[in-house]
Chains A and B, each alone.
Chain A
Amino acid sequence: MTGTIFDIKEMAVHDGPGIRTTVFFKGCPLRCRWCHNPEGLSGEPQLMFKSARCKGCGACFIPCSHEDCKPFGRCLHVCPQNALEIAGKRVNATELAKELIKCAEFLGDGFGGFTFSGGEPTSQIEFLLSLAKELKGYHLCIETCGYTDKKNWQKILDTFDFIIMDIKLADDEQHKKFTGVSNKIILENFETLKKSKKPYIIRTPLIPDITDTADNLDAIKSIIADSNWEKIPYNAAAGAKYKMLGMEYKL
Chain B
Amino acid sequence: MEYDNIELSDDEEEITAQTVLRTLQNAWQNERLAPEILPHQNEMVECMLGQIQHMERNINKLPKTDLRASIHKMELNRIKFIICNYLKTRLDKIEKYCISILNDEKQRLESGTNYLTPSEYKYAQEYLINMESHLKEAALDHVPGNMQSFDLNKLVIYPNLQAHVFLKANETVTGIILEDLGGDQDEEIDLEENSQHILQYKPIADLLKSGKVQLM
| Chain B associates with chain A | no
Which of B's residues lie within 8 Å of A, judged by CB?
none
Binding site for B on A (CB under 8 A): none
